[in-house]
Amino acid sequence: MNATTADTTSGTAPDPGRIVLLTTSHRVAPGLLSWPAWQVLRGADRVLCADGAHPQLPYLREAGIRVDEAAPTAEELVAACAGGHTVVVVATGEGDPALTDRLARLAGSGRVRMPDLELLPASYDLPGARLLDLVQVMDRIRAECPWSSRRTHEGLAKYAIEEAYELVEAIEDGDREELREELGDVLLQVVFHARIAEEDPDAPFSVDDVAGTIVDKLIHRHPHVFGDETASTPEEVREHWLRTKAAEKRRTSVTEGVPLGQPGLALAAKLASRVRTAGLRVPLPSGEGVGYELLALAARAEAEGTDPEAALRAAARAYRDAIREAEGTGG
C-alpha cells in the first residue's frame, strides 16, 4: 500500500505539495541568487526548466543541483507535487505566463486540490538595470537595422539638438508623460553615439567609458560629498565646482569651452557669466543695431539671475497663445 492510499483510507487527504516558480533577472550575472532561492533549490524534490539554454542552468548544475529540461503542463505539475513534494520551476525570461495562467484557471475550477503556489524572485534588478536593456537593444539595432547601421556622429548631431529642444518644451509645458518620453529620447542619443564610437578604428570608446568619465567627473567636482571639503550653501557648492573645473581644464581664457553654436541669447549670457565669475572688468562693446541691444539685455538678465533664453521663450509662448486666440484656435 503506498502513502497516498494510506492517507486516503485513514481519512486524511494527501499533502498536495508545493510549486515554486523561481524568477531571475537577466540583468544580474547568472549564479548570483538570493539565499532563500538557494535553500529552495537544494531542498526541492525536482527542479524543472523548459529552456535548455537558460543562463542559470550551468551554475545550478555546478552547485550540484539536478535540473531536468522539461515543460510540464499545469496538471502534470500538480500531479508531481502530490504526496508533499516540492517542485521548483526555473522560469524563462518571459516568466512562463502560459503555465501560470493555466495553474490559476486550474485553481479557480475547484476540481483539484492545489499545491501551495509560490513566486520566488531569486534575483532583483538594481536601480538603473533597465539601462542594460537599452544598451542591448541598441547593439542589435546597430547591427541589424539598415538605417541605424549607417549613421555617423555627424549625421546624428542635428537629432541631439532637436531632442534637447523637445525636452525643454516638455519641461515648460509641465507634461510629466511627455517629460519622461523626451528624457528617453535624449538618453537614446547618448547610447547611440556611444555605440557608434565603439567602431572607431583609432580611438574607440563604449557607453561604459562614457559613464565612467562622468562618474569620475562628478566625484571630483563634489569634494563636499565624496571628500573632506564642506559646503552648506549652493554658492559654496558652485565655488567648489568652478575651482575643480578650472584645475581640470587648465584654460588660458574664460571663453574656452563656450560653444559658439548655441542660441545667441544663451551665448551672450554664458560669456557674461564667465566674465562675472572670473572677476574681470570687461565693458560690453558699443555699437549700433539690435544685436548690441540684445547683448546688453542678456548680460543684464544674467547678472540678475535670469536665464534670458528661457525668459524669451516664455514670452514667445505667450505671443503664440495670443496669436491663436486672435485666430480663434486658442485652447
As to burial, measured by CB atoms within 10 angstroms (0-12 exposed, 13-18 middle, 19+ buried), residue 67 is buried
Which among 69, 100, 123 is the end of a domain? 123
| Residue 71, domain member (yes or no) | yes
Residues 117, 67, single domain; the answer is: yes
Residues 146 and 109 in one domain: no
**53/146 same-domain check:** no
Residue 237 lies in a domain: no
What's residue 229's pLDDT? 85
Question: Is residue 114 domain-shared with residue 132, that is, in the same domain?
Answer: no
Domain end: 123, 154, 174, which one? 123
Does 93 fall in a domain?
yes
My answer on whether 189 and 150 are in the same domain is yes
Q: What is the CATH number of the domain that holds 193?
A: 1.10.287.1080
Which CATH number does the domain housing residue 38 bear?
A: 3.40.1010.10
53 and 116 fall within a common domain: yes
Residue type, 234: P
Q: Which residue has the cell 565603439?
A: 198
Quote the pLDDT of residue 256.
Answer: 85
Range 249-254, long-range pairs (CB < 8 A, 24+ positions): 254/278, 254/280
Based on the fold, state whether residues 95 and 181 are members of the same structural domain: no
In a domain, residue 91? The reply is: yes
* Cβ-count burial 265-285 (b if 16+ within 10 Å, e if not): bbbbbbbbebbeeeeeeeeee
Q: What is the pLDDT of residue 93?
A: 67
User: Closest Cα to residue 76, out of 58, 93, 60, 89?
Assistant: 89
Are 51 and 82 part of one and the same domain? yes
> Considering the domain boundaries, does residue 298 fall inside one?
yes
Query: Is there a single domain that holds both residue 179 and residue 201?
Result: yes
Provide the number of structural domains found in the chain.
3
With 0.75 as the threshold, say if the pTM is over it.
Answer: no
Same structural domain, 81 and 177? no
The verdict on 39 and 115 lying in the same domain is yes
Please report the beta strands in the chain, taking only residues with DSSP state E, as ranges in sequence order.
18-23, 46-49, 68-69, 86-90, 116-121
In a shared domain, residues 29 and 69: yes
Supply the pLDDT for residue 13. Answer: 67
Helix residue ranges per DSSP H, 198-307: 207-220, 223-226, 234-249, 264-278, 290-303
Range of the domain at 81: 18-123
In a domain, 36, yes or no: yes
Cα 22 from Cα 132, distance rounded (Å): 22
DSSP lists the bridge partners of residue 87 as 19, 46
The answer to whether residue 249 sits within a structural domain is no
Q: Please tell me the distance from the alpha carbon of residue 281 to that of residue 295, in angstroms, as a whole number.
A: 16
Grid cell listed for 134: 537599452
Q: Which residues contact 55 (CB under 8 A, 6 or more apart)?
A: 26, 30
Q: Is residue 221 part of a domain?
A: no
Per-residue pLDDT of the chain (331 residues; tens, 9 = 90+): 344 444 444 556 678 899 999 999 888 888 889 999 999 999 999 999 988 899 999 999 999 999 999 888 889 999 999 999 999 999 876 677 888 888 888 888 888 889 999 999 998 888 898 999 999 999 999 999 999 999 999 999 999 999 999 999 999 889 999 999 999 999 999 999 999 999 999 999 999 999 999 999 999 888 889 988 888 888 888 877 777 777 777 777 888 888 888 889 999 999 999 888 888 899 999 888 999 999 999 999 999 999 999 999 999 999 999 999 999 876 5
pLDDT for 4 equals 44
